[in-house]
Amino acid sequence: MGRIVLTAYLSHGAPTSLVERTRIHDVYEKLGKALGKLEVDSVVISSPHYFSRGAFQVESRNDIPCIRDYYGFPDELYKFSYEAKNNFTLASEIVSQSTRAGLSASESQSWGLDHGAWLPLYFMFPKQDVKVVPVSISSASPETHFRFGESIRRAVENVGSRVAVIGTGSPVHRLDLIRYGYYGQEKFEPGQEFDEKVIATIASRDVSKILRIPKEFPSLYQDAQPEGDLNPLYIALGASPAEELVGETILHEFMYYGVSLISTILSAGIAARELLPKAEAH
């Protein structure tokens, strides 16, 4: 019987995060080492850049290619690459369980690992020694994304794998306010306030409240313009075993003034909690 060892919501930052070292890289590396010790063999990852209209998509090709889905950056950013093998059995079971739950889902061979997925994986698993199953977000409701996450959890339970489920993205994603290279103390205040609401809501471990974030804080939500409408968060939350919910944010910072970086552990078993990095002040 398979097991979800950990679920998390991690910001991936900008493509420049490949060469601009910040505290979030330490989190990636520590999480990767912890998951290695916990013998995680597969990662199901949801990036806000993998969007499908209508049905959820689950990447099913055996070799998952690297997609450099960014343009106009320095040449050195195109030298980095991360590819992975798929856990095809798990990918097929995710589609099967989603269909049984009344959700529209299909296997796909049209995507790969965009920077929302391969950038954190690059630092978490530098030896590329973990299988990866990319899953899409859609235009569906938070509740539907949560149900898709539940289907992922049931699929893992039916497949003999030890799995981490990770949703990526930034709660504050104001590209119009970006100041490239800025890591000073000044912050986009509505974004800072929204992040604090998100962090507190996740810490409550009240699933219904987390799914209502867009409705609970509509003005701040509009100001923050969350990446992927927080849908990767809802998928990872749905995959979280209810009895193992943690809801602890271990890192929160801003980059370039208008983008927030967050590292939140949504669920983890007792053994995993002992190995995870400790929370930093935010």
Q: Which domains does the chain have, with CATH numbers?
A: 3-273 (3.40.830.10)
d(CA 267, CA 5) in angstroms, rounded, equals 8
Closest CA to 198 of 181, 176, 184, 216: 216
pLDDT digits (tens, 9 = 90+) for 71-81: 556 677 667 77
> From edge to edge, which strands make up the β-sheet containing 3-10?
105-108, 56-59, 131-137, 42-51, 162-168, 3-10, 259-268, 245-255
Alpha-carbon gap, residue 163 to 40, rounded angstroms: 5
User: Cα separations (Å) of 60 from 57, 64, 84?
Assistant: 9, 8, 12
pLDDT band at residue 282 under the 50/70/90 scheme? very low
**Which residue would you say has higher pLDDT here, 128 or 281?**
128
9-67 confidence digits (pLDDT tens): 999 987 777 777 788 999 999 999 999 999 999 999 999 999 998 899 999 999 999 88
Determine the 3-state secondary structure of 263 from DSSP.
strand
DSSP characters over 175-222: GGG--TT--SS---HHHHHHHHHHHHHHHTT-HHHHHTHHHHSHHHHH
DSSP, collapsed to helix, strand or coil, labels residue 247 as strand
Burial of 276 (0-12, 13-18, 19+ CB in 10 A): buried
- Spell out the residues 6+ positions from residue 210 whose beta carbon is closer than 8 angstroms to its own: 201, 202, 204, 233, 234, 237
Distance CA 121, CA 128 (A): 8
Name the range with the highest mean pLDDT among 18-27, 78-87, 202-211: 202-211
- pLDDT band, residue 69 (cuts 50/70/90): low
pLDDT digits (tens, 9 = 90+) for 149-194: 999 999 999 998 999 999 999 999 999 998 988 888 888 999 999 9
Q: Point out which residues pair with 51 in neighbouring strands.
A: 137
CA neighbor of 198 nearest in space, from 190, 22, 148: 190
Output the average pLDDT for the chain: 93
Residue 59 backbone zone (phi > 0: left; psi -120 to 50: alpha; other: beta):
beta
pLDDT at 74: 66
Q: Which two tokens stand for residue 245?
A: 């919910």
Residue 238 buriedness (CB in 10 A; 0-12 / 13-18 / 19+): buried
231-258 pLDDT, tens digit each: 999 999 999 999 999 999 999 999 999 9
Q: What is the DSSP letter of 278?
A: P
The answer, yes or no, to whether residue 281 has pLDDT greater than 60, is no
Task: Report the pLDDT value the prediction gives residue 92, as an integer from 0 to 100.
Answer: 97
Q: Which of 71-75, 134-138, 270-274 ranks highest by mean pLDDT?
A: 134-138
- Are the C-beta atoms of 48 and 169 separated by less than 8 Å? yes
Query: What is residue 67's predicted lDDT score, i.e. its pLDDT?
Result: 87
DSSP per-residue letters across 83-113: -EE--HHHHHHHHHHHHHTT--EEEE-S--B
- Tell me how far CA of residue 175 lies from CA of 32, 71, 133, 158, 225, in angstroms: 29, 15, 28, 41, 9
Report the half-sphere exposure of 277 (CA within 13 A, side-chain side).
22
Name 6's bridge partners: 164, 268
